[in-house]
Structure 1
Amino acid sequence: MPSNPNEYNNFPLSRFESMLKTNDVYFFDSEEFEQIIQHYLENGKVALAKKATKLGLEQHPTATSLKLFQIEMFIFENELDTAEALLDDLYLLEQSNEEIYIQKANIFSRRDDHKNAIKLLEKALEITNDESDVLSLIGMEYLFLEDFDNAKRSFMRCLEQDEQDYSALYNIIYCFEYLQEHEAAIDYLNDFLNKNPYCEVAWHQVGKQYYILKEYKKALAAFDFAIISDDRFIGAYLEKGKALERLKRYSEAIESYTITLGLDDPTSFALLRIGKCYEKLGDNDLALQFYNKCVEEDGLLDKGWIAITDYFLKQQDFEKALYYIEKAINIDGENVLYWKRYARINMRLMRFEEAEHGYRRTLELGNYELDTWLSRTDLLIKLGEFQSAVSNLFQATEFYPDNVEIEFRLAGLFYILKEGRKAEFHLKNGLRSNTDYLMILEELFPKVYAKTRVRQIIEKHKNTSV
């Protein structure tokens, strides 16, 4: 016999696993099968849950609870038609079982038919003894529909049923934030705090709303109340640190971030922010020390590598900046922010081919900012790759048609390539757009700018536009 309560609670599970090992067949009542299946589902052991359900239905073929587990697993595996057929059979037998409506709603939701899912959940709400769970499901369906007002109302009703349901509270604030109703969110949270004055989650959320509104002193007070309510609340210390930074109280921000390092394993975010604060205080050695700790803790955090790189850029130590950004690229070669810095650093080092490669990779990775197209073009011009520069600019025109900076560059390039008609076409386009950008032609193509024919076109345009 089991010798302690925990062993007793696990006894059906132990017997079931013993049965699987020996191939013996033991009898379990349907409630024991429910416990076993629930345990496997909660621990992500779906195959064992399916096996327990199959054996359970062999021993209890009419058990509705086991049939519902079977249906849940069919839905999980996206076998929606099979699940629906089984639910329809169950519905004929038990029209007052809320779980049938919930699982049917789950199927509708999987098919992106959220309105019908809500209708079924509202029927479940009429007969359930656990309104909170059903209201939460209704709220999620409204979120899928991006109906944030109704979602918010559902989660509010949910929280009224269970004031400890912090997931509902988070969802309510998410809706307020999406609707940009930050003041209304604060009012709601204050009402909630009148009834739950030591709810650290609510204080934390009040602080975040004030932070969004740039009312940093009020945010700071709210985060302090969150910490009073729970002095091990890491999120409150981190947010407090951010508010202190905004108030330029960097030493205090360092203290707040440092507390989190002692409460749990150090987070790369806290290490990064401490480094930033030390840099603001002018303590560059400590700043660099924490930046290095940050990337040691999380080599995939791009903000850490960027902080180190930018630190050396400010020191105008371009070789070290290049060293760190190349280390970052070796870890994550698909990061656009790395390649943009790689290009800029190589530009400062007069390594034009490497810089051009950096801008090219930036574009290949989907960064189509105008500045990237233009910077790459100017490098190709420096390298004498005029045809490639033209191709690059024509690609840019797909995103920035009739852009004056592109037009003047194309004009200069076509003059160099001795394609006069095309050159004049783009020169005239540029002049019609904005003559202030003529400096592009003068700076990038001084010999073209000095051409008699070019001067004539410019003068003609000035005379006709007076």
Structure 2
Amino acid sequence: MEYGHDHNNSLPLTKFESMLKTNHVLFFDSEEFENIIHHYLNLGKIALAKKAIKLGLDQHPTSINLKLFRVEVFVFEDKLEEADLLLDRLYSLDPQNEEIYIQKANIFSKKDNHEKAIEVLKQALKLADDVVDLYSLIGMEYLFLDKFEEAKINFMKCLESDIEDYSSLYNIIYCFEYLNQNEEAITYLNTFLDKNPYCEVAWHQLGIQYFALKKLKKALAAFDFAIISDDTFIGAYIERGKVLEKLGRYEDAIENYSITLKLDDPTSFALLHIGNCYEKLKKDDLALQYYDRTVHEDPLLDKGWIAITKFYNKRKNYQRALYFINKAINIDSENVMYWKLYAQINERLNFYEEAERGYKKTLELGNYELNTWLTRGDLLIKLGETEAAIDNFEQAVEFYSDSAELEYRLAGLYLALHETDKGTFHLKNALNINEDYSFIIEELFPEIYKKVAVQSLLKQNSK
């Protein structure tokens, strides 16, 4: 029994807590102690649970159930050897007790011996009257082993015994998705809905599967049925909004997102998407209003700050865009795209040192696109950092060995340093790869372009 302080059945709990304050020992039957301990464990009040276990065993020293609670606490505290020893003693007293097997399996699981945990749980199945929880535990152990087919089968058995076991339904769909079995998931959900046509969770999950397959009209119909089944289902309105947004029906999408704001506290997700929709409708004032509400609701949501950054960037208000991209980077400094946007904004503001830093950071984070190497290198040239520019382009050549754009730049840089052999080598490489890009020398290195030796090579290659 679950206790609550506002419930008539909470009298034993109140009496127990009063006893703790007065140190006056009162008697409770073993079942009352079990309920009290269960209550504290559910609340995570381990110290109080341990007190109740001790007092319970003082009054009922032969109670196997109370000793099993002691095992549970041992496992929680990672005292696995103590738990194991106590379980062995309990098994010798009551070998048909399924809870002993469950706790034994829990210990194996804690030790990452999931195969053994499954074996023990299957033994418990032979003893149990209510098998739903056991199938769920077996399913979870299979998930730990990444055996998704086996996990799926066990979660399906849970749902066969209890059609309202939505936790198992979610796990089943998770397995389907991990295995990229969207079509199979749709078949399973449709079969389930034939028997349970008003299950809003199943309709919701069906819509998500259709959405993943880009079957937007079918997804929309599924979310409609989810809302018919439960018109307060926030998740269904959110997903319906996403489909409508994808279909370009922005006003309808806004309506669905807005319903969620009335049903519960506003979510940054809904506010952000309302802002996106208003921006698509070219209602800039409303878009910015909702973007502002998004970051006010969740100041740590980097996507909100990025939305405002892009809003100002599109309108060429680079100073404001720079302010907001810095906000996003402060939240997620490992995001390549944020640093790239930071670099582009600084470049447009002619803040070349900051722009170069941004591109350098994107490279450090693994963004090896050719354009990133080229843009960073060109900024280093503008900054007069010739050696750093050469180093940048030499690294890029390791990834793009046949890039004329890199070779022309290296040629110009080496010739500028009067390293004629290296410069000539790279210029010949560049011309062999693509002579049409020779304008790069003229644009980036006009003084080098005018040199007789360079002109001679260019003319020689054009013959």
Query: What TM-score do the two structures reach when normalised by structure 2?
Result: 0.89
2:11 aligns with 11
Q: Which residue is equivalent to 1:169? A: 169
Partner of 1:84: 84
Partner Cα distance (2:325, 2:7) in 1: 55
Cα distance in 1, alignment partners of residues 224 and 435 from structure 2 = 57
How many residues in Structure 1 have an aligned counterpart in Structure 2? 458
CA RMSD of aligned residues (A): 2.9
1:67-82 equivalent positions in 2, closer than 5 A: 67-82=67-82
Matches within 5 A, 1:297-376: 297-329=297-329, 335-363=335-363, 366-370=365-369, 371-376=371-376
Rounded Cα–Cα distance in structure 2 between residues aligned with 1:287 and 1:154:
47
Identity between Structure 1 and Structure 2 (%): 62
Change beyond 3 A, Cα 1:397–1:7: same
CA contact (8 A) 1:299 1:331 kept: no
Aligned equivalent of 2:295: 295
Matched, 1:129 2:107: no
**Residues 132-281 of structure 1 mapped to structure 2, 5 A cutoff:** 132-281=132-281
2-structure distance, mates of 1:254, 1:390: 51
Displacement of 1:53 after TM fit?
Answer: 2.1
Is the alpha carbon distance of 1:420 and 1:125 closer, same or farther for their aligned partners in structure 2, counting shifts above 3 Å?
farther
Q: 1:301 to 1:94 in 2, by over 3 A?
A: same
Q: Report the alpha carbon displacement of residue 373 of structure 1 after superposing the two structures with TM.
A: 4.3
Larger deviation, residues 380-389 vs 178-187: 380-389
Letter in 1 for 2:26: Y
8 A Cα contact 1:342 1:355, kept in partner: yes
Closer, same or farther: CA 282–16 of 1 in aligned 2, 3 Å: same
Rate the CA distance shift 1:344–1:34 in 2: closer, same or farther, 3 A. same
Question: Is the deviation greater in 182-191 or in 227-236?
Answer: 182-191
Gaps of 5+ in 2: none
List per-residue Cα deviations over 1:168-209 (Å, max 9, x = no partner): 111111111111111111111111111111000011111111
TM-aligned CA distance change 1:378 to 1:242, over 3 Å: same
Answer whether contact 2:227 2:236 (CA < 8 A) is retained: yes
Partners in 2 of 1:438 and 1:113 — Cα distance? 64
- TM-score, normalization: structure 1? 0.88
CA distance in 2, matches of 1:79, 1:374: 58
**SS across alignment from 2:126:** helix
Give, in whole Å, the separation in 2 of the partners of 1:104 and 1:454: 80
The answer to which of 280-289 and 373-382 deviates more is: 373-382
**Deviation of 1:81 (Å):** 2.5
Q: Does 1:21 align with 2:24?
A: no
CA shift in 2, pair 1:142/1:382, >3 Å: same
Structure 2 residue 57 is matched with structure 1 residue 52? no
Counterparts in 2 of 1:385 and 1:137: CA distance versus 1, 3 Å: same
- 2:107 corresponds in structure 1 to 107
Whether the aligned pair in 2 keeps the contact of 1:318 and 1:349 (CA below 8 Å) is yes
In the alignment, the residues of structure 1 paired with residue 90 and residue 402 of structure 2 have an alpha-carbon distance, to the nearest angstrom, of: 65
- Give the distance between the partners of 1:27 and 1:164, measured in 2 at CA: 39
Alpha carbons of 1:372 and 1:172: their partners in 2 closer, same or farther (altered >3 Å)? same
User: Secondary structure of the residue that 1:50 maps to in structure 2?
Assistant: helix
Q: What SS class does the counterpart of residue 37 from structure 2 fall into?
A: helix
Q: CA deviation at 1:272?
A: 1.1
Deviation at residue 327 of structure 1 after TM alignment: 3.9
Letter in 1 for 2:25: V
AA of the residue aligned to 1:22? T
Matched residues in 2 for 1:435 and 1:102: separation?
Answer: 74
Cα distance in 1 for residues equivalent to 2:139 and 2:392: 49
Which stretch has the larger CA shift, 325-334 or 59-68?
325-334
Compared CA separation, residues 461 and 31, structure 1 to 2 (3 A): farther
Please state how far the C-alpha of 1:92 moved relative to its aligned partner: 2.4
Q: What are the Cα deviations for residues 195-252 of structure 1, in whole angstroms up to 9, with x where unaligned?
A: 1110000111111111111111111111010000000000100111111111111111
Question: Corresponding residue for 1:283?
Answer: 283
Displacement after TM superposition at 1:96 (Å) = 1.5
CA distance in structure 2 between the partners assigned to 1:249 and 1:153 by the alignment:
39
The residue type equivalent to 1:143 in the other structure is L
Separation in structure 1 between the aligned mates of residue 272 and residue 394 of structure 2, nearest angstrom: 41
Matched-pair contact (CA < 8 Å) for 1:300–1:332? no
Instruction: List per-residue Cα deviations over 1:417-452 (Å, max 9, x = no partner).
Output: 444555566666667777776665565445556656
- C-alpha deviation, 1:164, in angstroms: 0.2
